[in-house]
Amino acid sequence: KPTRRNRNNFSKKVREAIYERDKGLCQECGRPGTEVHHCVFRSAGGRGVFTNGVLLCSRCHMKVHQVKSLADKWRNVMKERYGDGYWKDEWDE
């Protein structure tokens, strides 16, 4: 079982898959996406899995960490897309 830190990081392969899924665009504003955001924050146990990541530009990424309603929006979007536990990895119960 990998360390928690490693489980929370997005691998290069996962980052590339998220970039492809999101067509290289910030899912909040439509500009070029540059950063993968943890919908369930790492500090809350959110894992670096495909279903917990969304591509954002740096401006929107900063904003989603400052505005609770935006963070909640993305958690709800991913829950609707991928179901309960979308943020977990294979070692979570």
What per-residue confidence (pLDDT) applies to 2? 80
Which of 51, 43, 2 lies closest to 22, judged by CA?
Answer: 51
The pLDDT tens digits along the chain (93 residues) read 788 778 999 999 999 999 999 999 999 999 999 999 999 999 999 999 999 999 999 999 999 999 999 999 999 999 999 999 999 999 986
Is the separation of the CB atoms in 78 and 51 below 8 Å? yes
What per-residue confidence (pLDDT) applies to 62? 98
